[in-house]
A and B are shown apart, each in its own frame.
Chain A
Amino acid sequence: MALLQRPFFVLLLVLTHQFMQYWIAFGSVNEEGQKQEEEFNEELLLKPLPDRKVLAHFHFQSSAPPSTSNGRHHHIFPKAISQLVQKFRVKEMELSFTQGRWNYESWGGFDPIPSSNAKPPGVELWAVFDVPQHQIDASWQNLTHTLSGLFCASINFLESTTTYSAPEWSFPPASGNLRYGTLPREAVCTENLTPWLKLLPCRDKAGIAVLLDRPSIYRGFYHSQRLHLTSTGSGSEGMVSGIILEQTLTVVLQPNSQRAGMAYASERHIQPSWSLTSIFGKQVSGTCVLAKSSNVYLLLDRGLVAELEHLHKENEKSAENGFTSQNFWTKPSFELSADPDRIFIEENSLHSKGSSVLYKFQVEKYSESEPFDLSLTWKIPVVWLSQQAPLHASRFLMGSGNERGAIAISLKSTQLSEGFMGANADDERCDLQVNVFQVVPWYVKVYFHSLQVFVNQQPKAISDIIEKIHVSPSKDKVSPGVMEMVLKLPCKVNSAALTIEFDKGFLHIDEYPPDANQGFDIPSAIISFPNFHASMIFLKDDSVNKSPLLSKFQEKSPVMSYTEALLVPLTTPDFSMPYNVITITCTVFALYFGSLLNVLRRRVAEEERFLKEKAAKKTGRLSLLLSKLSAKLRGAWNEGSLRVS
């Protein structure tokens, strides 16, 4: 494009199009109608969080049906992604850019959102390929380079075999053709967001994506931009498989509190009232015209709904006994600026706590003259807790010094989950299954025999707790160490811990990254609970099935959480040291060599004669003294070197 601005730019107007009047002869072959068309949906989910923050989850989904021309001709679906899928035969792929850490304790860990959208800091990429086993690594390496160019990020560092691994079964979309790699230190910024937005048909020019005001979203506490693509099976012979591209952006923001005459003391407990303008500084002035559906949802999670119901009951105890959920939701303890188009209430089958409520707003009804600016104003103070994963996982380093240490993963029971664990508690053997997947770089040399398990602070035999373990030890400078485990913990467990010892390796001088003194990152471990599914089931309805976000919520995906990334300080050399060492050793060698040569050439008798002659001459006291001294020194030196030789 830069060509266009050059001064030698030559332009020629095509003068006429008389050319080739009968050039075109159209075949009237009516191709088999492609009934399915490329689609695009945009959705936004807003959710108040217990610690006075607001979660905004943008969900854009583009899909291309199976067709012969995928990768060549596209109408809505991004051509680049389709070509990438065709070229590298990607079956499924997920790429995420994250900044900040998802706070599992206060923002929850059981919903579909944290399970599938909370990601480790930095870049995480995994991909499943549809190629023979021996070509997977080559495909992965080419894919990393392409993505790196596509998203302006250093994903190409995942090319090296030391940075990626092939999990066997513990990573949820488990398959033999999977490759997984992370770059914990990758900084995420707007230069990664712009190419991501370019994949949307309307970019951030229209529709819900207008809200993505860069200063607001990068000011947030957590920011995760994700791209997930699945290629669906090809429809028939010769067809190229269809692709579903799911782009999500999850941000946790602190709304500017709009207090209106609230007492200062109680302000800390009161949920801030917010609106789209106060969070993003922008409002939605219409849909992206290419979107099939364009909706905004407001989600109240189970804990909040239970709390509200409780408050409501207390208030109206005297007046009304039999209240139905219907009239409860029309008189809630908060106020919405817009009337929801629909209210979904979760089908509550498993959890006694309560059921989430979802308000749906259709953006189609709003226009530029009447923009959509949802605001939520609390009338009463509410305090609630988000639903947690069964165990809260954290990981830390033990030991000190630059030689060895230990990694510990600690799992603590979250009291909140007792409710649904209690259902199984009556059984004689009630087990809580936990999958652990951990990758350690090769320079952290883990001793797998030193694995220890503690349950309720008591050491346990490994065979009692670990049901299945798969270890692929690291190879120096070739591959990282991978540890996959299935733990069976008793249901009533309070805490469990795994420790494993390691030695810190030495790197070659040119393997150190810039700023080596900062330390080396160990990527986050993944803790998943295959028996618990993070799904929200809403009443079966057409509109639920039509919305990709809600159908995503209904999917049964295991509860997953990421631990912290660890920072291991390694011994870093003084980088000028090799030259110093070379210089000093060489000098010593040169001294030795030179004196040896001198000794070999020495003529002892001649020197003695010379000295005698000098003595006989008695030239003077001073010179005599000097010559004596020098002779002594020389003698001593020569004796010494003779001894050495």
Chain B
Amino acid sequence: MAEISEAHDSDSSKSTDNASEAPTQPESEPEFNPKLMRKTKPGLKRLFLTFSVLFSFLLGLQFLWKSVEIYRSPLPFREIDSLSTQLGSDHLIFPLHFHALFVGFDSDPDRLRLSILSEITKLTSQNPKCSHNYTLSVTVDSGSHCLHSPTTSPHSCSYQCGSITAIDFDQNDDVAIDERLVPVFGGKTNEYSVVVVKGESERAVVGKNRRAWVVVGSGREVEIAVVKVAEVLVKVFVNGGREEGSIRNEFMPVGADGRIVLSFNLLNADPRDWVYDWDFRKIDNNLLAPMIEALGPVANISVESQVLYHTPKASFSYWDQQLQSYVFSTKDLPFFVNSNEWHLDTSIAAGGRSKILQFVVYVPSAKECPLLLQLPNGEISNTNGFISPMWGGVIVWNPQGCLKDDNKPTARRTIPMQDLENMFEVFTGQFRQLFGFKSVNIYAGASGVWNLLPSERGFTEWELDVLSRQHTCFNLHSCASTLGSLSRLVQSLPRMIIMDEIGKQVKFSLEAAKLAQSNASNGVYESSAASSRQARSLAEDAFFHPSIMSVSYYSFEHCFAVYSPFFLPVSMHVVLAALSERRRYRKEKSKYLAWKAKANAAS
């Protein structure tokens, strides 16, 4: 091309037949300098041609770009962000209604209400994630008439004035009192009620439903009662009676798909000494079924069992002469579970993201029987068991007398039903512990000891409320964080294929999360737990969708390697041609303009 651009200083000739901007020899004009001027307008043909090629090339590039583009389903990034900011800025508030009933008192209900409220604010520790919004109503029943505070509370109207008296609380049967209280406050209300009565035997009991009662003696009864009422409301009904820092509240042993598999294993350490079997179906039907039903709103639970043999523990115990038994101390507990020999296995029946909780009954072999677990303070554990959070629990069960039947060592014996029942009581306690509750039925607060009535279903109603609230809170936060990571991942990888299905799952997950939020703020715990569970499992499904992996198979480098051998040289040609034509055209035009100016000046 260099030679063409040089052509402007060529000697002018007459040949104009190439129909171009060849400058013609000026004869009449003596000042005409062919090197600097020309008389004809420079032609546009070649310029137009090269530029049209360049433009079509650029146009084609767009099509090419479109054709190698990968499919990305649009994700609602803004909504994901707003969900996490909403949850972050404390928008998940559970409404709670408290009702305190003072029977046989004649104090001013408004004053009582204020003092209880001030006690409550003293006790409330702010949970950074989920907060509660409570309303309190106080009723004072002085026998003849009732005083309400606030006077127009929508929640205290269910109480019929004078329907309970202090005599009802004289009996010692707490279960009967609990049942007696059910119709008093109306069968199905979500409010938490505390009854304060004067009586002989001082005691404080929390019932199976959402009721508690305090019997206070004479003296400074009102002040004591106020403190106790505030404590039971905040520490027991709201926080579930757990101690701060026992197990982190976020630990919910529920799988991402909202399922738990309880896998019960009976381990015979050495079947050559004795072989024990159990009748698990009976246990399953009689003991576990009610508990599983009670936990229905929180998790979908299934139960499996197996018996394994030749499963020694991984660490050694020592013989204690005083106890006449083998002792295993707490510091060795991490080495009790033998992951090489205990093939507890995951369940095929369960889905991929279910949580499996292993419960193990360990039957020691004859040479380490009886085996006892020792607490750090040197005492022997009553339950002979321990838990490992998020994994499950272990119980050591020693056969009666540790007697080896030498005549028939291979005969399979069954664990006596009584022992099995005790074992499952411990398991229930362990299960409660895994959920963060206490395994004892006593709550020792600052103001005194509360007796907690246990439910035959394993979890009382107020405990289930606590679980539902906690579960909703946990699920929504985990859903928000999963979706947040997904959106960050998607935005950081522009070459990632995102299927429509992922987009749909994200959309549904957000919808379920919204529903859970609105249900939670309306106080419908069960359905909010269910929809929050759905939101979380959909978010996890979207995040773990197998098609997300396809990013690695179609990289930008591949694209570059395939297309550059053609487009690099061609684009070089086209662009250079366009540039040189443009330069030439400008030069020629300036020549023409120079001549024209001269001609104008001459004329």
Contacts and interface: CB of A to CB of B under 8 A. Distances in A.
B22 A606 contact: yes
B249 interface: no
Contacts of B577: 597-598, 601
B390 interface: yes
A24 B421 contact: yes
Given A202-B271, A586-B566, A604-B18, A14 B386 contact: yes
Interface stretch (B140-148, B220-228, B233-241, B422-430): B422-430
B265 to A, nearest CB: 10
B565 to A, nearest CB: 4
Given A10-B247, A23-B428, A583-B565, A87 B348 contact: yes
Given A9-B388, A13-B386, A83-B347, A606 B4 contact: yes
A12 to B, nearest CB: 5
Interface in A64-83: 68-69, 71-76, 79-80, 83
A504 to B, nearest CB: 27
Say what secondary structure dominates the interface of chain B.
mixed
Interface string A580-591: 001101110111
B387 interface: yes
Interface in B1-35: 1, 3-4, 6-7, 10-13, 15, 17-18, 20, 22
B282 interface: yes
A471 interface: no
B348 A1 contact: no
B78 to A, nearest CB: 37
Interface in A21-73: 22-27, 31, 68-69, 71-73
A318 interface: no
A11 B566 CA distance: 66
Interface stretch (A451-459, A528-536, A609-617): A609-617
| Contact residues on B (Cβ < 8 Å of other chain), bracket | 35 or more
Contacts of B519: none
A63 to B, nearest CB: 16
B565 A586 contact: yes
B282 A31 contact: yes
B122 interface: no
Contacts of B53: 597
B272 A23 contact: no
B303 to A, nearest CB: 7
Contacts of A582: 561-562, 565
Interface in A267-315: 286-287, 289-290
Contact of B306 (A9, A79, A593): A79
Contacts of A591: 569
Interface string A592-608: 01100110111111111
Contacts of B6: 610
B307 interface: yes
Interface string B572-587: 1110010001000000
Contact of A146 (B287, B302, B343, B348): B348
Interface in B377-401: 381-383, 385-391, 393
Contact of A587 (B10, B337, B345, B565): B565
A86 interface: yes
Contacts, number: 254
A613 B573 contact: no
A25 B11 contact: no
Given A582-B565, A607-B3, A18 B440 contact: yes
Interface string A557-591: 00000000000000000000001001101110111
Contacts of A25: 286, 456
Interface in B419-466: 421-422, 424-426, 428-430, 432-433, 439-441, 454, 456, 458
B306 A74 contact: yes
A519 B475 CA distance: 52
Contacts of B568: 590
B272 A2 contact: no
Contact of B581 (A205, A589, A601): A601
B349 A605 contact: no
B598 to A, nearest CB: 23
Contact of B421 (A1, A12, A26, A616): A26
A79 B307 CA distance: 9
B573 A590 contact: yes
Contacts of A583: 565
Nearest to B278: A75
A603 B18 contact: yes
Nearest to A34: B281
A73 B18 contact: no
A352 B565 CA distance: 79
Interface in B255-279: 271-272, 275, 277
A603 B20 contact: yes
A603 B425 contact: no
B4 A603 contact: yes
Nearest to A609: B10
A15 B386 CA distance: 9
A14 B308 CA distance: 24
A16 interface: yes
A286 B310 CA distance: 14
Contact of B430 (A14, A26, A205, A593): A14
Interface string B44-65: 0010011001000000000000
B303 A72 contact: yes
Interface centre among A69, A582, A603, A612 (most CB of B within 10 A): A603
A205 B74 CA distance: 57
Interface string B272-307: 100101001110111100000000000000111111
Interface string A521-553: 000000000000000000000000000000000
Interface of A: 1-5, 9-20, 22-27, 31, 68-69, 71-76, 79-80, 83-84, 86-87, 146, 150, 198, 201-203, 205-206, 286-287, 289-290, 579, 582-583, 585-587, 589-591, 593-594, 597-598, 600-610, 612-613, 616
Given A205-B309, A206-B271, A609-B7, 4 more contacts: A13-B381, A14-B439, A18-B440, A598-B577
5 contacts: A9-B388, A12-B387, A73-B305, A202-B309, A613-B10
Interface of B: 1, 3-4, 6-7, 10-13, 15, 17-18, 20, 22, 46, 49-50, 53, 247, 271-272, 275, 277, 280-282, 284-287, 302-310, 330, 333-334, 337, 339, 342-345, 347-349, 373, 375, 381-383, 385-391, 393, 409-410, 412, 417, 421-422, 424-426, 428-430, 432-433, 439-441, 454, 456, 458, 561-562, 565-566, 568-570, 572-574, 577, 581
